[in-house]
Amino acid sequence: MEDVLRACFRGPAETMAFVFGYFAVLYFLVAPALWRLEGRLEPLFRRSRGEGELIREEIRRSLGAMGVFSAGSLAVFWGLERGLLEVNFLGDPWRIAAELAGLIVWNEAHFYGAHRLLHGAKALRGWHGEHHRSRPSTPFAAFSLHPMEALLLGSVLPLAMLAWDFSAYSLLLFPIWSLLINAMSHMNARGIGFVEHHQKHHQWYSGNYAFLFSALDRIGKTEIRK
């Protein structure tokens, strides 16, 4: 496994190709599965747009965002090449579990802060407005982002890597969790707490900036109470 991963990151082109391919495979496995699941659940809001048109738009933007993630991986490649970042191949399950837990907490804090910024800074609202064209959203909206928003949200792992030398296995597993929660949060479905929490954000725009940790909205006094 270590040799395979080293080969995937041996040069800039290989790095970009691997990152784009990895996110694309995850996206086209997770989003369609959750879309089928959504069809079996009670909807939270009524859609005013045709579902086919909405999903095509979300997929198009998501592919663009994956391109941004791919280009952004060059910063990680450059950091590893120059010794500014370190990655190990330790497979200890307890270490990996601890690193994943830390990344999940960091991801929630990073997303909440970045999300509030996208809504609060006037110059950034236009970027985020593209994502809010999905109302109600579908699981395909997980990566439906303006390129600059994708760059901002995609900084979550590189910033974490500045603070800690992660196992490569943790860095590979984390996007699976992240995309699953992201895509689930964009389901238009009733009865799942964090899903309703984010769908209300899409419906009313302001408030409910957190994903999984809705307590951040209560602490930050940004919770939608409807």
Q: Output the 3-class SS for the chain.
A: CHHHHHHHCCCHHHHHHHHHHHHHHHHHHHHHHHHHHHCCCCCCCCCCCCHHHHHHHHHHHHHHHHHHHHHHHHHHHHHHHCCCCCEECCCCHHHHHHHHHHHHHHHHHHHHHHHHHHHHCHHHHHHHHHHCCCCCCCHHHHHCCCHHHHHHHCCHHHHHHHHCCEEHHHHHHHHHHHHHHHHHHCCCCCCCHHHHHHHHHHHHCCCCCCCCCCHHHHHCCCCCCC
Count of alpha carbons within 13 Å of 163, Cβ hemisphere only? Answer: 8
Residue 30 covered by a domain: yes
Whether residue 170 lies inside any domain: the answer is yes
Residue 85 token pair: 């970042």
Q: What is the distance between the alpha carbons of residues 184 and 148, in angstroms, rounded to a whole number?
A: 23
Question: In sequence order, what are the beta bridge partners of 88?
Answer: 167
Convert the pLDDT of each residue in 174-200 to its tens digit: 999 999 999 999 999 998 999 999 999
> Is there a domain that residue 226 lies in?
no
Token readout for 178 is 């992240």
Domain assignment of residue 224, yes or no: no
Handedness of CA 60, 135, 38, 108 (dihedral sign): positive
Lowest mean pLDDT among 120-124, 150-154, 157-161, 187-191: 120-124
Does residue 117 form part of some domain? yes
Q: Residue 49 — pLDDT band, cuts 50, 70, 90?
A: low
Whether the predicted model's global pTM rises above the 0.85 cut: yes
Each residue of 105-126: pLDDT tens digit? 999 999 999 999 999 888 788 8
Domain that holds residue 25: 2-219
Question: Of 161 and 4, which is predicted with more confidence?
Answer: 161
Q: Does residue 225 fall inside a structural domain?
A: no
Count of the separate structural domains present in the chain: 1
Residue 137 in domain: yes
Is 13 inside a domain boundary? yes
